[in-house]
Chains A and B, each alone.
Chain A
């Protein structure tokens, strides 16, 4: 963003307050951002697609999309951005920030919900609040695509089975004329309630690769 040039320190503080990162971490991430964008102001999809380690990730498309998804920016509106600034970059990454120690239960619940919301949005590609079978199928297909032997057919079969599993657990008794459309966010939370997402969906933000920073500059 434009502000990053004028008063980076001030902006960092702002961001640190907003996202919960430390200033140090923000600085590191900023360096990384500059490296990724080749010193441009905004990050586009191709920048992320160029990350070499990412090339082998079977679900990189979804992950990259998540960075450009407006829903993850804390805004109400839906849709996708074409390019994002540093602020958005950090906001998305903050979903992966480990919760601070001594977080109270209430807050922990919110954190958990936010993280789940992020995952949910990632699967729910058309923004309608429901992960339909087709959407989920695409996810699973991509997920399993690294195993070339397992064809798309198997992936489909597995998806269907998984979907039915969800349906059988979350919906309970359903009238015969009702239609199981897909996983809603509530159901999504329900099926993942035992997975301690708040303790798992975290990565360390220290020890970032500083070598790349120098290359970038």
Chain B
């Protein structure tokens, strides 16, 4: 609360101090600024140390100031929403804030110096929002509902345009609006620009509501695709208005319909073409990784501008570009570039969305554009609202006859209520030609009022409405992997049943397309390497593992642990590089120290002793590491295995524009590679032959911990896992138990195991399952399965993962080597 007020104040102060002088300088005191400057130059007697050159930077300066203001506005709005009211959607609040800002500007200038001009909006603000929306489009959902979306987008929009235009005209003829200089065609033109549901407004409002995915995709998809229709209708009626009523004949109307096909499909195909170009391009950007992310934006923008140039639907073009390229681009590009794209995309889209709403507010504070005609404005509002509802119900009724899952009445209500108009309508209205349409300003003001009404009022009431109607919300599930697996199985089951019934249905088509895509399109557009990992399930799996690894590392750090350095993968490569040389001479001593305590089996008691004797955390960890290895291998060998040769790191702080990484040294990479390969081979061998090299065990000791109970003595460890929070870490970081004060039971238990697990006695004839368990390496990529370990120590019993580790590691290794290469 306080902070938001503070922010508002800050902004106001900022505006008064900063923007207003600038504006005044811009509009009134131009000469004052100019003159001294000139005088200075004329009377130049010596070298001027500082000159004030406002005019040199005026435009970029103002732009950036406004961007800055918009950023502050967003900040304050978000703060406000967090602390004060969460009923008003952000978009509405931004508009209201825009009113205030506009008021300040107007107060200073007595005129609105800053407006949202159509070119700015269409060329600089809109593209990235659409690109963002399409790039993150859930493709499967989108295409499986494409039929419904198209019906709404095409027929719904036409219906809206026609009915609103005609009804207004009817009312005008009936004399409700008084004397206006508007004809039927102009009413239809107005109807067509006000008909389209606005993607920006829809995203902004629906994002906060979390309705179920089908409903969301219907509204959202419609708002994206109806642009083609809007543009065509707008252009056609604009041309008709220019032609004048009498000269319109059947041929012209036919041309209008034909132009719809060309504009919409042309735009879409253009977008697809650019998507192919982009995908091909990212196939070969391996050596310019640092800028490959930029291509996505550049090509997307090119798709937009090219379509605009050819007078095709630009929004459709960029939409399809984004939708089609996402899969291949994400697969082709480096993981880091993908992240870059993702963040940059969100940044741009969010930024422009903020700007748009802010300026929709600012623009309103202008006496010039406001023309009031109660009849016209109120009737427009009414018709827009009513016909949206009628249209939705009408088309849904028709669709439901064919849909497997009918759209429910509640969803229909939300759909019709979600018919938000936004900046696109305003932009089109502002584009109107004043010569041809005398009542342009009335149309602009009406459009603005419709926008405010829908965005603010409907936006505010959307959430309560959704709650009140108990609309199905988006299901939030923690079960990511199993969900995907089930979905996959599901698709196959449905397709199979269709096959058995002999029906050529949706699933048949989907499957056919998938096969085609897999065999030909992927082959063309994807890197061979990327194709290997393209499987969706695997990528989910990989992502979850990465997440876990990150969590694990950060968790370890939070607890002051460097334990993650144990695994011989990327994380510890760095660590060891840095600390390895310093500790190299200390370590062997510790090793020896510990080997005295090492009794071969008892880890826990040793740990506690070691903990007492060795104060340093990092040493302790290494100790823990080695200690487990003592049976088979001496510390020296181990160190040699784990530590990379110390080098003079003269290249460490080198600045490079094209690389982030500092350890690019070839030898080093080579060494890392060789080492990992060697360890991989070893573990492979051991899995095959049943030999247990110590190195593996170092990573396995955790596994053994957990397996001791189920296998050996299932009942002796009842309260081992007392505290859910800490136990996870405690289990694998026994030396850190000290930190887990909440878990007092843990320590004694660990310290005094009364038995030795049976399999540790066995040397050669290890039962497969048990050996398997020991095999399980404990690397971060294991974490997916580590999480539930907390729940049951026995759960792993069913996981006879004798050899999974290898493949898994290999996959992890892929990404790891990538990191190293970077």
Contact = CB atoms under 8 A, between A and B. Distances in A.
A117 B190 CA distance: 55
Contact of A209 (B404, B486, B503, B724): B503
Contacts of A205: 501, 503
Interface in B772-796: 784-785, 787-788, 791-795
B497 A63 contact: yes
A176 B734 CA distance: 18
A58 B719 CA distance: 45
Contact of A132 (B501, B538, B798): B798
A38 interface: no
Contacts of B719: 176
Given A150-B535, A157-B541, A176-B718, A167 B795 contact: yes
B815 to A, nearest CB: 14
Contacts of A147: 535
A193 B405 CA distance: 18
B787 A158 contact: no
Contacts of B406: 101
A54 B493 CA distance: 10
Nearest to A60: B496
A189 interface: no
A208 B541 contact: no
A146 to B, nearest CB: 9
Interface string A97-134: 01001000000000000000001001000000000110
A168 B500 CA distance: 37
A13 interface: no
A32 B497 CA distance: 12
B720 A161 contact: no
A217 to B, nearest CB: 14
A105 to B, nearest CB: 12
Interface stretch (B19-27, B42-50, B93-101, B805-813): B805-813
Contact of B405 (A63, A98, A164, A178): A98
A190 B803 CA distance: 31
A5 B505 CA distance: 30
Interface string A137-177: 00110011001011101101111111111111101111111
Interface in A191-213: 191-192, 194-196, 199-205, 207-209, 212
Contacts of B496: 54, 57, 59-60, 63
Contact of A208 (B481, B503, B538, B803): B503
B791 A172 contact: yes
B505 A203 contact: yes
Main SS at interface, chain B: helix
A185 interface: no
A96 B503 contact: no
Contacts of B480: 165
A53 interface: yes
Interface residues of B, number: 73
A182 B505 contact: no
A48 B500 contact: yes
A180 B535 contact: no
A144 B798 contact: no
Interface in A75-102: 93, 96, 98, 101
Nearest to A96: B497
Contact of B807 (A153, A163, A168): A153
Given A98-B405, A173-B791, A203 B507 contact: yes
A166 B482 contact: yes
A167 B787 CA distance: 10
Nearest to A133: B798
Nearest to B505: A204
Interface string A36-70: 10000000000010010110111110010001000
B477 interface: yes
Contact of B788 (A48, A159, A167): A167
Interface in B454-504: 472, 475-483, 485-490, 492-504
A156 B714 contact: no
A176 B717 contact: yes
Contacts of B508: 53
A98 B404 contact: yes
Contact of A154 (B482, B515, B795, B811): B811
A171 B789 CA distance: 12
B804 interface: yes
A26 interface: no
Contacts of B532: 149
B172 interface: no
B489 A212 contact: no
A59 B493 contact: yes
Interface residues of A, number: 75
Contacts of A56: 515
A204 B509 CA distance: 14
A173 B724 contact: yes
A15 interface: no
Nearest to A175: B718
B807 A154 contact: yes
B537 interface: yes
B98 to A, nearest CB: 39
Given A54-B499, A157-B807, A199 B541 contact: no
A168 to B, nearest CB: 4
B804 A93 contact: no
B502 to A, nearest CB: 4
Given A176-B793, A201-B494, A194 B788 contact: no
A153 B806 contact: yes
A160 B792 CA distance: 15
A96 B499 CA distance: 13
Contacts of A48: 500
A59 B472 CA distance: 32
Contacts of A57: 492, 495-496, 499
B209 interface: no
Given A161-B784, A212-B502, A143 B488 contact: yes
B580 interface: no
Nearest to B810: A153
A147 B792 CA distance: 33
B489 A203 contact: no
A180 B798 contact: yes
Contact of A179 (B476, B724, B794, B811): B794
Given A176-B718, A209-B504, A158 B538 contact: yes
B714 A191 contact: no
A156 B481 CA distance: 13
Given A166-B482, A169-B478, A178-B794, A143 B494 contact: no
Contacts of A93: 497, 500-501
B502 A209 contact: yes
A63 to B, nearest CB: 4
A173 to B, nearest CB: 7
A162 B475 contact: no
B799 interface: yes
B499 A53 contact: yes
A206 B794 CA distance: 50
B544 interface: yes
B801 interface: yes
Nearest to A59: B492
Interface of B: 404-406, 472, 475-483, 485-490, 492-505, 507-508, 515, 531-532, 535, 537-538, 541, 544-545, 709-710, 714-715, 717-721, 724, 784-785, 787-788, 791-795, 797-799, 801, 803-804, 806-808, 811
Given A101-B406, A150-B538, 18 more contacts: A32-B502, A35-B502, A53-B508, A58-B492, A59-B496, A96-B494, A98-B404, A98-B405, A119-B493, A153-B807, A157-B804, A173-B724, A176-B719, A176-B720, A177-B715, A179-B798, A204-B404, A207-B505
Q: What 3 A-B pairs come out closest when comparing CB atoms?
A: A153-B807, A194-B475, A168-B788
27 contacts: A36-B500, A48-B500, A59-B489, A63-B496, A96-B494, A119-B493, A132-B798, A143-B488, A143-B492, A153-B803, A154-B808, A156-B804, A160-B785, A162-B481, A163-B482, A171-B792, A173-B724, A173-B791, A177-B709, A177-B710, A181-B798, A194-B476, A199-B404, A199-B405, A202-B404, A205-B503, A209-B504
